[in-house]
Amino acid sequence: MTEPWAATGGPRHGGVADDRVTLIDGSTFCISERDGRVRAGHAQGLFVRDSRYLSRWELRLDGVLPEPLTTHGKEPFGATFVGRMPPQPGLADSWLLVLVHRFVGNGMREDIELRNLSGEPVSCVVTLDVDADFADLFDVKGGVAGAKGTVSVGRGDAAIDFTHDAALPQGVRIESHGAAEVSGRTLRWVAAIPPRDSWTVTLETQPFERGEPLPLRHPYGRPVEHTEPARSLREWRERGPRVNTADGDLAAVLRQSVEDLGALRMFDPEHPHRAIVAAGMPWFMALFGRDSLLTSWMLLPIDQRLAIGTAQTLAAHQGAVVNPVTEEQPGRILHEMRFGQSAALALGGGTAYYGTADATALFVMLVGELRRWGLDDQRFKELLPHVDRAMTWLTGDGDPDGDGFVEYRRATENGLANQGWKDSWDGVTFASGEIARAPIALAEVQAYTYGAYRARAYLAGEQGDDDARRYWSGMAAALKRAFNETFWLPDRGWYALGLDADKRPIDALASNMGHCLWTGIVDDDKAPDVARQLLSPELFSGWGIRTLATSMGAYNPMSYHNGSVWPHDNAICAAGLMRYGFVAEAQRVAVGVLAAAREFGHRLPELFCGFDREEFAEPVPYPTSCSPQAWAAAAPLLLLRTLLRLDPELPQGRVSCDPAMPARYLPLEISGLRVGDDELTIRVTEEETVVRGLGTPPAQRRRPDG
């Protein structure tokens, strides 16, 4: 049976073609072509602990690449590449089958098998060209890979050794279990295969750090264990909410969200039952503050476990001291962390890095929202001190010049140059294309900070602390006033993307201001202009809102942050549009993104290219996009909530639901929706909405116009 190369983590058959195969195990992953080849100069290779230990891996038979037939495999860490020797000129068929069994884990093992299917003996020369550049993972993903330090090549007995003379000395040995000739970066065998017989050789790729080999998880001579889907091992399956809709694509997208977020599940060894998820496969298999906070926010109506686990985990690692290397500061919520004694990050070299401008505010917002969804008193009391430490950071170290706006500038050259969600080096630019200079105060960071102030005021009010409620409400009002005075560009009709080091408005037209709608920091009289810009041809591609408008100097639809479309960004923008009453606009964004999901086989990737829908009938994939990616997987759930206009305030015993679902999804029913002690069923038809299950008599509303 031919299956996707990874049962829960791989590209789908159908939809947009994806020619890459990715195998993963812990912090090891290998990206290759569908034939198993790792092509030099591409974002491919074998990565272990954030370094690339193989940058080339090309098998040839008599100097010719095998012709790929298919790829088998249902294990995340293993696959079999099936190919054949290309037929001789003038012949239709080949008699030599090529099977490459690859397994990754702290390195790589590959079993190469040639099967002679003919009645005649076959002989051929097998060569394997390899290389290692030890490039940093993030440099490879960003397309700027290059070894920092000197790479030297040596040869052993049937082995090639690469050594990297750098701050962290690294090496890798590629060893043949079976006699081989070694020449430069090439291993060579002569395979003489009797009729109906086979020839095999096993290769181990073993990384070294500081001279010590990493223990291979699938070494030569050991059979490989097979996996079981973790969910099928449980005798019980917890009954969660069910969505029934007239639109099969919407249902498929939602089902995929569950699969993908479950696949990204991580475990804190100290608290394995706290739900947390990695940001994305394969590049970001670690806990990221911003990603996990937004992902769990998006899930809140359906499941609160992820939000609770995320808040507890981030609280446990909240900054306590000042450390310029990791950019830790008291009260700051981390940017990225990995569990495990041997885990290490490229940024700062430890297990946690704190260089983010927005995670701290998002943490406060999430705790406030959790409370609105009914977070119990005990866990709320445990989180509240962390909320207050976060508030101290927002008004202190987060705003070093004291102008009332949270800003960022990295503390060392190793830190992130940009510390908002558009964190590529060129992710924040002026309309001219000029790159903005730090310290930078981003528009959406002020919006999140406003949301944090309001959340803290809400929590205070809920506790009966009127002084604190008034204080934080006043802080929110002051920030909103200052933001609208400083960031609004009346001659342009949009908000500045941010303020640069000289407090100049960064005047690019970008999606960031959609996040400002989301938290409510936008003045009512400016909201129509914002909505108009977000849906303008310059920003809206037909599949979604671009990160940067086509009219901007830095626009590039194939870039990471300067013109691409990010599903999570769009879900937040849609929520913001709906918040301000722009129903048709929010629907248009939601329908566009969900249509794109259909084209990607119902799995939304991290991002895709920003080409106009009228130019290409299908969305164009971004080459190094994570898939699955946590906040992209969660985005359909926020879109669903947005279209349902579902809003809780459980401590006050209120739930608001006023659906604005496009007709194509109707009728639609959600059953088993846990809201506090109640289990709701919401049924939406074109004529009416029925909500049942609340403690109070069932509410019945007419569907609003629009």
Partner 1 sequence: MASAPPVFDDDMDPSHLAELDFGTAFAAPTDCPDCGSSRLTAQDAGDRTDFSCDDCRAEWAFRLGRIVRVTAGHAVPEPR
Site for partner 1 in 66-95 (CB under 8 A): 75-77
Site for partner 1 in 606-625 (CB under 8 A): none
- Measured over all CA atoms, what is the biggest interatomic distance in the chain, rounded to whole angstroms? 91
240 binds partner 1 (CB under 8 A): yes
Buried b (16+ CB within 10 A) or exposed e, 624-653: bbbbbbbbbbbbbbbbbbbbbbbebebbee
Task: Point out which residues pair with 84 in neighbouring strands.
Answer: 67, 97
Q: Name which position in 262, 396, 404, 520 contacts partner 1 (CB under 8 A).
A: 262
Distance CA 450, CA 405 (A): 10
303 binds partner 1 (CB under 8 A): yes
Residue 346: other Cβ atoms inside 10 A: 16
244 binds partner 1 (CB under 8 A): yes
Tell me if the bond preceding 282 is cis, omega within 30° of 0: yes
On whether the CB atoms of residues 217 and 106 are closer than 8 A, the answer is yes
On whether the CB atoms of residues 588 and 574 are closer than 8 A, the answer is no
On whether the CB atoms of residues 542 and 609 are closer than 8 A, the answer is no
Q: Nearer to partner 1 by C-beta: 265 or 381? A: 265
389 Cβ neighbours under 8 A, 6+ residues apart: 318, 330, 331
261 binds partner 1 (CB under 8 A): yes
Binding pattern for the stretch 637-666 against partner 1, x by CB under 8 A and - elsewhere: x-----------------------------
Helix residue ranges, H only, 559-673: 567-579, 583-599, 630-644
Q: What tokens does 58 get?
A: 């090309």
Q: Name which position in 165, 225, 523, 615 contacts partner 1 (CB under 8 A).
A: 225
Choices 23-31, 141-149, 160-168, 505-513; region in contact with partner 1 by CB under 8 A: 23-31
For the purposes of burial, counting CB atoms within 10 Å of the CB of 222, is it exposed (0-12), middle (13-18) or buried (19 or more)?
A: exposed
Site for partner 1 in 316-355 (CB under 8 A): 338-343
What's the DSSP call for residue 664? G
Q: Name which position in 165, 190, 220, 551 contacts partner 1 (CB under 8 A).
A: 220
18 Cβ neighbours under 8 A, 6+ residues apart: 11, 12, 621, 627
Q: Name which position in 42, 49, 52, 109 contacts partner 1 (CB under 8 A).
A: 49
Choices 13-21, 303-311, 383-391, 582-590; region in contact with partner 1 by CB under 8 A: 303-311
275 binds partner 1 (CB under 8 A): yes
Smallest gap from residue 681 Cβ to partner 1 (A): 7
Task: Point out which residues pair with 199 in neighbouring strands.
Answer: 114
3-state class of 654 per DSSP? strand
Sign for the pseudo-dihedral over CA of 551, 555, 561, 564: positive
On whether the CB atoms of residues 516 and 576 are closer than 8 A, the answer is yes
Q: Nearer to partner 1 by C-beta: 49 or 546? A: 49
Smallest gap from residue 685 Cβ to partner 1 (A): 6
Q: Using CB under 8 A, count the residues that bind partner 1.
A: 83
Q: What tokens does 241 get?
A: 């909410």
Smallest gap from residue 283 Cβ to partner 1 (A): 14
Site for partner 1 in 669-698 (CB under 8 A): 669, 681, 683, 685, 690, 692-693, 698
Q: Name which position in 92, 226, 467, 617 contacts partner 1 (CB under 8 A).
A: 226
* Alpha-carbon radius of gyration of the chain: 27
Give the type of residue at 575: A
Q: Nearer to partner 1 by C-beta: 209 or 612? A: 209
241 binds partner 1 (CB under 8 A): yes
H or E segment to which residue 482 belongs: helix 466-487
Sign for the pseudo-dihedral over CA of 371, 630, 2, 203: negative
Smallest gap from residue 244 Cβ to partner 1 (A): 5
Site for partner 1 in 95-114 (CB under 8 A): none
Distance CA 241, CA 235 (A): 19
Q: Nearer to partner 1 by C-beta: 76 or 439? A: 76
3-state class of 233 per DSSP? helix
Smallest gap from residue 690 Cβ to partner 1 (A): 5
222 binds partner 1 (CB under 8 A): yes
Choices 205-213, 226-234, 319-327, 470-478; region in contact with partner 1 by CB under 8 A: 226-234
Distances (CA, A) of 657 to 294, 307, 640: 22, 22, 12
272 binds partner 1 (CB under 8 A): yes
In 3D space, the residue among 637, 621, 640 whose CA is nearest the CA of residue 12 turns out to be 621
12 binds partner 1 (CB under 8 A): no
Q: Nearer to partner 1 by C-beta: 5 or 580? A: 5
In 3D space, the residue among 513, 514, 507 whose CA is nearest the CA of residue 489 turns out to be 507
Distance CA 309, CA 270 (A): 12
Choices 247-255, 388-396, 442-450, 459-467; region in contact with partner 1 by CB under 8 A: 247-255
Q: Nearer to partner 1 by C-beta: 8 or 55? A: 8
How many CA atoms within 13 Å lie on the side-chain side of 89?
1
Q: Nearer to partner 1 by C-beta: 456 or 603? A: 603
Q: Nearer to partner 1 by C-beta: 63 or 236? A: 236
Distance CA 264, CA 323 (A): 30
258 binds partner 1 (CB under 8 A): yes
433 binds partner 1 (CB under 8 A): no
230 binds partner 1 (CB under 8 A): yes
Phi/psi-derived region of residue 546, left when phi > 0, alpha when psi is between -120 and 50, beta in every other case: beta
245 binds partner 1 (CB under 8 A): yes
Site for partner 1 in 478-537 (CB under 8 A): none
Give the type of residue at 574: A
Smallest gap from residue 152 Cβ to partner 1 (A): 27
Q: Name which position in 18, 58, 131, 268 contacts partner 1 (CB under 8 A).
A: 268
Distance CA 453, CA 455 (A): 5
598 binds partner 1 (CB under 8 A): no
Q: Nearer to partner 1 by C-beta: 23 or 510? A: 23
Smallest gap from residue 700 Cβ to partner 1 (A): 10
Q: Name which position in 112, 145, 203, 243 contacts partner 1 (CB under 8 A).
A: 243
Distances (CA, A) of 344 to 23, 87, 146, 319: 21, 48, 20, 18
425 binds partner 1 (CB under 8 A): no
Smallest gap from residue 73 Cβ to partner 1 (A): 12
Binding pattern for the stretch 178-217 against partner 1, x by CB under 8 A and - elsewhere: ---------------------------------------x
Choices 304-312, 318-326, 559-567, 610-618; region in contact with partner 1 by CB under 8 A: 304-312
65 binds partner 1 (CB under 8 A): no
